Chains A and B, each alone.
Chain A
């Protein structure tokens, strides 16, 4: 039922919502989260990031996302779910990740969407490397705040 995709290509949010809802009249609400590349880092006032490269563990990624989606489906009554995560080199402003969760009611749709992105950030094998406008680059470090966000669902 869930649509899970790891891709270098961009996604079309409208087309994905249309695909999720095609032929259905039982959906009452769709939660949507779109993660995008930002050019600022918390330590700096001015834009400093020129690109982001996402690496992943191909053999594991879709399976790990599938487990996260299965856990969301166990916790909430979902009528459809889409997770698309991009990999490769992305410029500021580009899409990184799309999470859609459809349900009969808004609370389940919104909660499931928040759960899915919180767990994706801590339990799916992706790694970000930032390139900076001065030519340097560095792996993004995992944040304690992301762990805390994932923990609130346990």
Chain B
């Protein structure tokens, strides 16, 4: 299982702050996960519509589309940050 977190407008569009997912196969990357999630429904499709505006962290570290996921990972999706 992996835990998926959504922040800011990704949370609003998916309607979820958190969900869990059984990892379908070993070697799945962040890009693979995005493709899988985007097909889950209209809210998810809207959240991942423009993938250039989606950032990802795996286990609280910034990750990129090629990052490979493992069972137990916490994967977070969010827009480019705007703090400070």
A: residues with CB less than 8 A from B are 35, 54-57, 59-60, 63-64, 85, 96-97, 117, 120-129, 139-142, 146
Alpha-carbon gap, A35 to B56, bound state (A): 26
Q: What chain A residues lie within 8 Å of B80 (beta carbons)?
A: 122, 141-142
Contact of B83 among A63, A85, A139 (CB under 8 A): A85
Which residue of the partner chain, among B5, B7, B8, B83, contacts A97 with CB atoms under 8 Å? Answer: B83
Q: A59-B74, A96-B84, A120-B84 are in contact. Are A127 and B79 (CB under 8 A)?
A: yes
**Number of A-B residue pairs having CB atoms within 8 Å of each other in the complex:** 71
A96 to B84, CA, bound (A): 7
Collect the chain A residues with CB atoms within 8 Å of residue B74's CB.
59
Show 27 residue pairs from A and B whose CB-CB distance is below 8 angstroms, ordered by the A residue: A35-B84, A57-B78, A60-B57, A60-B61, A63-B60, A85-B84, A96-B83, A96-B84, A97-B83, A97-B84, A117-B84, A121-B81, A121-B82, A122-B80, A123-B62, A123-B81, A124-B83, A124-B84, A125-B57, A125-B76, A125-B78, A126-B83, A127-B82, A129-B8, A139-B79, A139-B82, A142-B79
From DSSP, what is the main secondary structure of chain A's interface residues? mixed
User: B60 to chain A: closest CB distance in Å?
Assistant: 4
How far, in angstroms, from A68 to B7 measured CA to CA in the complex?
Answer: 21
Most buried by A among B57, B60, B80, B82: B82
What's the tally of chain B residues with a CB closer than 8 Å to chain A? 17
Chain B residues in the interface with A (C-beta under 8 A): 5, 7-9, 57, 60-62, 74, 76, 78-84
